Structure 1
Amino acid sequence: MHFHGYEWAGDGRLLVKESERRPVEGGGFRLSELPPMMTGWWLLRPPAQIRGTWTTAVDAVDWLAKRYEEHTPGGDPWLPIEARRLRAVEQLAGASDVMWSRWVSDSRWSGQYVIVCPNKIWPDIPCPATLASKQ
């Protein structure tokens, strides 16, 4: 088991473009940079969208926390970063994906995602990094 990191920040109003967020024929999903509707679907995206790969949950969460703090200055007042980090390590160690996202202004959305690979919810989706190395 390993972990891939992804992120997207932009105009949150674009999130309504569901055809780009679902793997349907002709919807533009593969080339879209919008976050998929399901976390495991990130693994269907081109390997170029991977922002990092780690073999330990702690390393993946270190990246997640750094990116979250860069996009969300001051963090989340309702959930301190250390509590968030501890829970994320537990989730990843239990083979569950982690998504930290929030509105950072009236229209700006920021999301950071760490996806377990292979993914227990989507076991038929191959590792995108493995596919890239075979090309």
Structure 2
Amino acid sequence: MHHHGYLWAGPKQRFDDEALRRPAHPDPPPPGSRPELVQRHREVAAEFPRTDLPPLETAYWLVKPAGLVRGTWQAPQDAARWLSGQLAAHAERFASSAERSPTRLKALEHSAAARLARGGDVSHGFYLERPTFLSLALVCCTPNHAMPHLACPLSLEVGSG
């Protein structure tokens, strides 16, 4: 098992486009459906795997382009340290002063390491200067416990970061 790190920062309005943050239903609309419904299904089916938007279910990061992976680690502690570094790099821009607390940021690192060690995924979101939103995720891979059928997006040697 290894872990991939993902980071997305962008307009909150774009983040709120939930249709592009979830995979299309596996079955297309039935024959005779409204043309706009059929077209929307096609758009979502084509765009979901390509868009850089964070998926609603963290494990679905694994179907996104490999270029979105910000790092890969074998050890949960190493992945959690990457998360901690990203939190530190963005903390002064957090909209809430409580989220900037060094004690809170250290607690997020420790809880991430513990969750990853149990095979779970980690996902955090923060408002930065409005209207910007930051999404950070660490996803277990090979296998992902929530969705073991999802393949690893990388064929590179694990251990970068």
TM-score, normalising length from structure 2?
A: 0.75
- 1:44 is displaced (CA, Å) by 0.5
Question: Letter of the aligned partner of 2:152 in structure 1?
Answer: C
Moved more, 42-51 or 11-20: 11-20
Number of the residue aligned with 2:21: 21
Verify the 8 A CA contact 1:68 1:100 in the aligned structure 2.
no
Q: Which amino acid aligns with 1:100?
A: H
- What CA distance in whole angstroms lies between the structure 2 residues aligned with 1:66 and 1:34? 21
Larger Rg: 2
Aligned-residue identity in percent: 31
Output one character per residue of 1:4-38: Cα deviation in whole Å (capped at 9) or x when no partner. 00010011111221222112242111221111111
Contact 1:65 1:85 in 2 (8 A): yes
RMSD after superposition: 1.9
Query: How many matched pairs?
Result: 132
CA–CA separation in structure 1 for the residues paired with 2:128 and 2:65: 27
Runs of 4+ in 1 over 3 A off after TM superposition: none
1:11 aligns with 2:30: no
Task: Indicate whether 1:109 and 2:133 are aligned.
Answer: yes
Residue 129 (str. 1) matches residue 146 (str. 2)? no
For residues 96 and 74 of structure 1, do their structure 2 counterparts lie closer, same or farther at Cα, with a shift above 3 Å needed? Answer: same
Distance 1:74 1:110, change over 3 A: closer
**TM alignment of 1:91-110, pairs within 5 A:** 91-110=115-134
Which residue of 68, 86, 98 corresponds with 2:87?
68
Q: Is the 8 A contact 2:72 2:79 kept in 1?
A: yes
TM-score, structure 1 normalization:
0.89
Q: Structure 1: any 5+ residue segments left out of the alignment?
A: none
